[in-house]
Amino acid sequence: MNEHDSERISGLLMAEGMVPTEDVESADVVVLNTCCIRENADNRLYGNLGHLRTLKQRKPWLQIAVAGCLAQKDKELIREKADHVDVVFGTFNVHRAPELLRLAQSEGPQVEVWDGPGTDSDDPYGFEIRPARESGHQAWVTIQVGCNNSCSFCIVPSVRGPEASKPFQRVVDEVSELARQGVIEVTLLGQNVNSYGRDITLSLRTANPDSFDVALAGERWARDPARRPRPLFADLLRAVGSVEGIRRVRFTSPHPKDLLHETIEAMAETPAVCEQLHLPLQSGSDRVLAEMRRGYTASRYLERLAEARRRISDLAVTTDIIVGFPGESDADFEETLEVVAEAEFDSAYTFEFSPRPNTRAAEMHDRFVDPAKVSERFLRLKQVVDRSALIKHRARIGRLEEVLVEGRSRRDGSLVGRTRQGKLVHLRDAELPAGSLANVLVTDAGAHHLVGEIVEEIERPRRARLGVVAG
Give the footprint of ligand SF4 on this chain (CB under 6 A): 147, 149, 151, 154, 156-157, 191-192, 255
- Tell me how far, at minimum, the Cβ of 148 lies from ligand SF4, in Å: 8
The rounded distance, in Å, linking the Cα atoms of 269 and 258 is: 19
- Tell me how far, at minimum, the Cβ of 209 lies from ligand SF4, in Å: 29
- Tell me how far, at minimum, the Cβ of 146 lies from ligand SF4, in Å: 9
Question: Closest CB to ligand SF4 among 255 and 426?
Answer: 255
Distances in Å between the alpha carbon of 315 and those of 235, 306, 398?
Answer: 20, 11, 18
Helix axes 261-269, 233-241, angle to 10 degrees: 10
- Tell me how far, at minimum, the Cβ of 291 lies from ligand SF4, in Å: 13
Question: Closest CB to ligand SF4 among 114 and 351?
Answer: 351
Q: Where are the beta strands (DSSP E) in 338-381?
A: 347-352
DSSP string, 379-428: HHHHHHHHHHHHHHHHTTTT-EEEEEEEEE-TTT--EEEEETT--EEEET
Question: Closest CB to ligand SF4 among 157 and 452?
Answer: 157
Question: Closest CB to ligand SF4 among 9 and 151?
Answer: 151
Question: Closest CB to ligand SF4 among 255 and 377?
Answer: 255
- Tell me how far, at minimum, the Cβ of 210 lies from ligand SF4, in Å: 33
Q: What is the 3-state secondary structure (H, E, C) of 6-56?
A: HHHHHHHHHHCCCCCCCCHHHCCEEEEEECCCCCHHHHHHHHHHHHHHHHH
- Tell me how far, at minimum, the Cβ of 40 lies from ligand SF4, in Å: 18
Question: Which residue from 388, 364, 381 is spatially nearest to 283, judged by alpha carbons?
Answer: 381
- Tell me how far, at minimum, the Cβ of 156 lies from ligand SF4, in Å: 4
Question: Closest CB to ligand SF4 among 187 and 409?
Answer: 187
Q: Are the CB atoms for 52 and 60 separated by under 8 Å?
A: no
The rounded distance, in Å, linking the Cα atoms of 291 and 272 is: 37
Q: Are the CB atoms for 42 and 62 separated by under 8 Å?
A: no
Within 10 A of 376 (CB to CB), how many other CB atoms are there? Answer: 14
- Tell me how far, at minimum, the Cβ of 163 lies from ligand SF4, in Å: 9
Question: Closest CB to ligand SF4 among 33 and 63?
Answer: 33
Question: Closest CB to ligand SF4 among 100 and 156?
Answer: 156
Question: Which residue from 10, 6, 105, 103 is spatially nearest to 63, judged by alpha carbons?
Answer: 105
Q: What phi and psi, each to the nearest 5 degrees, are found at residue 378?
A: -55, -45
